[in-house]
Amino acid sequence: MATGVFMPKLSMTMEQGTIIQWFKQEGDDVREGELLLEVMTDKINIEVEAYATGKLLKIYYGANQTVPVNQIIAYIGEADEVVPEHPPALDETARQAAEAGANEPGAAAAPETAAQEQKIRATPVARRIARENGLALEQIKGSGPNGRIHRIDVEQALARRSAQAAPPVKEPIRSSAPSPLRQRKLEGMRRVIAQRMAQSAFTAPHVTLTTEADMSRAIELRTELLPAVEKATGLRLSYTEVIVKAVATALVRHPHINVSLQDDVLIERDEVNVGLAVAVPDGLLVPVVKHADRRGLAELTAECKRLAGLAREGKLLPDDMRGGSFTISNLGMYAIDAFTPIINPPEIAILGVGRIHEKPVGVNGQILLRPMMTLSLSFDHRAVDGAPAAAFLQEIKEILESPWQLLV
């Protein structure tokens, strides 16, 4: 009997995945444990192995197609077996079959086999690409744990080899005719981000509240704590960590914001897990600071910088991006005063942070220059009303303006 290949469910909140590429084509022989396809979920690529041996009889979905979890996407079986022309409906039988084995979180994430557990550690796809391009793994430095070689390491090595072998670039012949417009298809991470943002923008009724915080005392606090934090961690305390701590404290005091909305059900979160939007080439990743309310500023400094570094290097693990209950998007490093952030579903709110800059402010009857920072809270009006959302934003403002309470 033919075996269905399911879109794997790799986390409790995952609802769909996007097929990046198939490593096998219809009619190819497949062995159990071989790499079958690559899937993107939660903005992370996962290599999926075959969990049956036979021929790949049918592929129902191709590259860049998004499929619900536990949906049958292909069949593996004997050469003469007949399988449906169209993918079966996602019924209870398919769900049970998927949940029974191949789709447990992490089960499809390409573990190393005994044969691969060699002196040179590398993922299966890294070995395949290196072999196809005549690259010796001994010449590649791995970026993974214990020096394990990942796909990106092989691709970078190929790029370096191509650059060394490339002939000198000649000056192009200029033409008076207009050049055609360059086009680039939405693929991979960019496609997933586009789908998620469109879903959020057109599903959740966004309302954005804006206020300003006087950062004078927060600046003083950071200046006082810089030496102690740097001595403890070797890292410099930034305003990002101060803001994360303020938001986490406010979420504890306003638990109605620390919820998720899934299928018209509000799920109260027991943990305060704050996501940080990090810009990466051609995309955006949101690693999650777990238990942010329980961490001091030194520990937050180490954790935020660790996660941001992994995001920029493309080394985040799926667990680094799971479990978020609220997201912060900080554009303070740019000349941006305020913006309207889009909610990161299934969360119900997101905080946009602008730059700190001096501006004239009325203080006790006087006009003084103060370092002001704009805070923009976008919230899902289905889950929370304006008054409690405003109270939450006001709480963040008051904490930042009296930040010493963060040390209590």
pLDDT tens-digit readout, 185-238: 777 777 778 888 888 888 889 999 999 999 999 999 999 999 999 999 999 999
Spatial contact of 313 and 331, defined as CB atoms under 8 Å apart: no
Q: How is residue 32 annotated by DSSP?
A: T
364-388: pLDDT as tens digits: 899 999 999 999 999 999 999 999 9
Spatial contact of 377 and 359, defined as CB atoms under 8 Å apart: no
The pLDDT score that the predictor gives to residue 148 is 74
For residues 112 and 61, give the distance between their C-alpha atoms in angstroms, rounded to a whole number: 27
Q: What is the DSSP string of 82-118?
A: ---SSPPP--HHHHHHHHHTTTSTTTTS-PPPGGG-S
| Low-confidence winner among 77-86, 156-165, 270-279 (lowest mean pLDDT) | 156-165
The residue from 28, 91, 319, 381 that is catalytic is: 381
The pLDDT score that the predictor gives to residue 56 is 94
What average pLDDT does range 404-408 have in this prediction?
83
The residue from 28, 282, 319, 385 that is catalytic is: 385
Where is mean pLDDT largest: 122-126, 142-146, 147-151, 199-203?
Answer: 199-203
Crossing angle of the two packed helices 124-132 and 151-165, in degrees rounded to 10: 20
282 labelled catalytic: no
- Judge whether residue 2 has pLDDT over 80: yes
Tokens of 351: 């905080």
The pLDDT score that the predictor gives to residue 114 is 37
Q: How is residue 395 annotated by DSSP?
A: H
Q: What is the DSSP string of 318-337?
A: GGGGS--SEEEEE-TTTT--
- Judge whether residue 112 has pLDDT over 70: no
Band the pLDDT of 146: cuts 50, 70, 90.
low
Q: How is residue 67 annotated by DSSP?
A: E
Domains, the chain, ordered by start:
3-100 (2.40.50.100), 114-162 (4.10.320.10), 205-407 (3.30.559.10)
Phi and psi torsions of 351, nearest 5°: -110, 125
> Tokens 């919230």 — which residue?
379
381 labelled catalytic: yes
